[in-house]
Structure formats: structure tokens, C-alpha cells
Chain A
Amino acid sequence: MNSKEASPYNKNNIKGCGIGLRIDHFDEIEAQKPNIPWFEILSDNYLLEGTLQREFLSHIRNDYPVTFHGVGLSIGSTEPLNMDYLKRLKKLKDEVQPAWISDHLCWTSAHGVVTHDLIPLPYTQDIVKHIVDRILQVQDFLGEQIVIENVSSYLQFKATEMTEWDFTNEVTSRSDCKLLLDVNNIYVSAQNHKFDADEYLVAMPAERVAEIHLAGYEDKGTHLLDTHSRPVTEPVWDLFKKAIEHVGDVPVLIEWDNDIPSLERVIEESTTAHEIQQQILSSNRKTTYGH
């Protein structure tokens, strides 16, 4: 085995079902080094140097492969790319060597204000071009393909010209970036906007999917809210099964950001995801051999 293959940070080492690294679990992870295949870190929380989080990350990095997930790129914003943010991200990337860097297909900041939330965009050709240009700039600056995630949304625009899945396809293919397929987000948006989640899912470019996200939402009566505060729901597990059939064996991640339970409970959720994934993959293999 050569040294490159032996590196735990090789992209190919991100396999199975990981979990999002949260500060609540820091001490337990450090003390017990649980058997978790990989961690996704919320990169924005580690961009300031000298912090306790940064120090902890350096420990985690010695034991686990990691990926970066951020909200600060604001790829759909009309203000210039935040170069200070990008420089910090690149520096962190060089230091930690994540398998990949992901962010969201939306905007979070504009006109000097940072909302820290994921705000959707109208799906138009103009916006496709705008975002593609910005993804290309980011990829050029970071020196690698980035991974872009579909977001949950609670509103739609009068100016929209195409479906979200056509928009996502155009953006990813024209910018040649990867896709983080958030199955929960598809379900939440499908319920909120009354479209067919299956139609969305099968339209996704399987070959571009680098990762799948799973999380729990809250039912607010009039709409579903993507809170990452609950277990994954049954309809989302069902959609996840279809996603595995569509994209095959890709890494899966459990996100749990609010009302965070014990580490054991989050691992339990990722184990469920892993078992479902293996079941679908195994059944697909049997079908393939059978033919």
C-alpha cells in the first residue's frame, strides 16, 4: 500500500454513514473514540484561529476522516464573494485536509448583512449563470471541486422559470461541481410546495452525488420546518431508500443541530441509515446477479 492510499484523509476513505460533529459531543468523542466512519464539521465554526474548537478539531483529525460543511459561502448572493471567508476556508482546508468542502445552493448574506440562514433563489436562467460563475470562481480559488447541497424552502418566487431539479441539474453540470443530496430537504420542500419528491429525486444527476444528508424536521401544521432537531421520519427513510437505488453506494450523514441528543442516539440513527443503505445495495446486487 503506498502512502497516499494509507492516508486517512483520502477521499475514498469517506465511506458508510458518518455524523455531524457537534460541540456537545466533543468530550465524549475525545475520551471514547467511538467507531464512527467519518465526521462532517461545520466549517464556519472553525475559521477563527486560536479557538478551543480549532484545537479540538486538530485532535479529531488525527483519528477520523472529515468533510467540511458550511453556510457562509452565500453562493447565490449578488454581493462579491467574501474573500476573507474564502481565504480562511482555504487555510483551514490546507491544515485539516478534508475529503471535500460543501455548502448550499442558496444565499445567506447580501448588502453587508449575514442572515446565517439558507434563503432560496428564483430558478431562472440568469440566476443559473450567476451561480455557475461564482462556483467556478470558488473552485478555482480552492483548487478543487466543491459539493453543493439542495436546501429546504418555505417560499417560491413569481419570477421562477423552471423546476428546482432542473435548476440544480443545470448549475451542477455547467459548473462541474458535485452534489450533496439532502433527502430530508427534498421531502420538506415537496410537502411545502406540493411537488412530487420522487420526480425530483430521479431527476438528480446520480453521477455527481458525493454525499447524502438525512435529518429530522418539525411539522408546524401549515408547513414542515427543517430544524435538524428530530429523528429522521418514516417518509424520509422511504425516500432515502429510493435515493440509494438511484445513486448507489455514496456516503451518508446524519445531521442533528438542535435539541441535540446523546452521541449514542445520533450513532444509533446513523446505524439505521447504514443498515437501510446496505439492505438496498445488497438487494440491488442480487437483482443484478439474478439477471
Chain B
Amino acid sequence: MNTIIQARGVRKQFNGKPVLDGINLTVPSGRIVGLIGPNGAGKTTLLKGILGLAPVQGDLQVFGLDPVKHRVKLLEDVAFIADTAILPRWMKVQQLLDYVEGVHPKFNRPKALAFLQKTQIALHSRVRELSKGMVTQLHLALIMAIDSRLLVLDEPTLGLDIVYRKQFYEALLNDYYDAQKTIVITTHQVEEIEGILTDLIFIHNGKIVLETSMDDLPQHFMALQVEPPQQTAALALGPIDVRPMLGGLRMLFENANAAQLQTLGRLLQPSVADVFVAKIAPNLHVKGEFYAN
């Protein structure tokens, strides 16, 4: 399996404050990677580094190339969608198609037109005349018609309603993704992409706090619903997050013994959102008492 992105000790500072703090990362081909982090965690800065839009310190390679030095060459194989507001509003749909066809060697115009035909978007419309959802569809049509090997999505569905969000990810999976392509997505709406991800990376304060495959996630993280009689014993096992629930506590454990936990309560598979919250903003206080050992 080819390595698409490789980062070793990647750093970046703004006004002396570290935004990326020694990032180590490997993304192989054919994966759908969710890069999840709170606001200001460094996600977008890392993506910009990957796209060659901003220089970073350390060793960052995409397809084995330095993204800043070889930005133009890389962009023949890398497609990018930021949030929906980046298509020039003065352009007509037809002009956008002409433009991308003219500058991108891997753009397939019939494919873009076929996708647009399934939408309400007219070729003579200007981008500013389209709704936010339609602009996203248009951008997706352009991107899906590019035979890229890496697709970078930075909050692609921000501000869209649930229908468009669902359509976006369905189109991405059905019409774009195959085993040769790699997708890196950042989003706040973790629940929506949970089902399509193959890998998960949590980034916080410029550092990667979790890098795992979705297949391995259940082995690493377990949630336990504990009733009051077992709480002391369960807390002694060192949960990384404790939250009150009706009739007891819900605890989240990392790399714990499942058999041991099962004797103390009801064992559950935590969602990505649960793990994210536990890793980024763990709660170890319940009713004023601190439970961590």
C-alpha cells in the first residue's frame, strides 16, 4: 500500500504560539481519514500544509514530494474542497467548467456534466445565484470529475442542511471513492462521517492525540454504564472520562480489559463523538468530586 501523506515532526507557529507541534502522521492510499479536532486545533493549518498553501517546518511529504515546492505538480493529483464559499461568485457554471477543463489535465467534462444533470443547477447560472447546497453540489461535480488520487475536504458540509449533507457524502462514496483514492476529511459533524471513515485522527493543540483505524477503535475504547454499588471498583480501573447518567455513571476506558469491565456493569461500544470528547475534553468530575486516580 503506497503512502500518500507522510509527516514527521511537522511544526508551525503563529506569533510564537505553536499551531502544529511535532505532528507525525502516515496516510496510506485507499483510506478515508477523518481529521477531527476542536476549533483552533490545527486541522486547517495541517491541511494547508498538505496542499502546499502554507509552509510548515519539519518533514511533510505528499506523494513523496514537498507540497510547497511542488504545489502545482501535486495539485494535478490532489483535489480540495473547503467550505462552500470558495467558488468565485461572479463566475457562471459554464465558465467554471471551461476554466477547470482548461487548467486541469485530469478533468473529465462529460463526467461533471453528468453529475450536474442530476441537480437543479443550470449552466448559465452564476455561482452567486445558487443556494449554498447547490454551490456544494457544483463544487463536488467539479472535484469528482477530476481523476485525483487524494481528495482533501475541509468542513465541506458546513452550513448545509441535513438533506444536502447526506447527498454530499453519498455522492462521495458512490461516485468518487474507490480503492485507489484517498480522502482526508475534517469536520465538526463527526456523527455524519463516522460510517464512512476507515481511519481516525484526533488533533488537539497542534498535537495528534489519537491515530487509529476504525476497525481497531472498539478494541481500544469501551464505554461502561455503572450503577452506584460498582462505581468505586470501576473508577479504580482508571476511566479516561466519567459522566453522570440516569441511575449511575457512564465511564469511558482506553485499552482496558473488557472481561474485567463486564463484571462491573453494562459494556457498550462508544461512538466516535464519545471518544473525541473523552480525549479532547475529558470530564472526571461528578457532583464536585474528582474521580481520576
Q: Do A and B bind each other?
A: no
Q: What is A's interface to B at a CB cutoff of 8 Å?
A: none
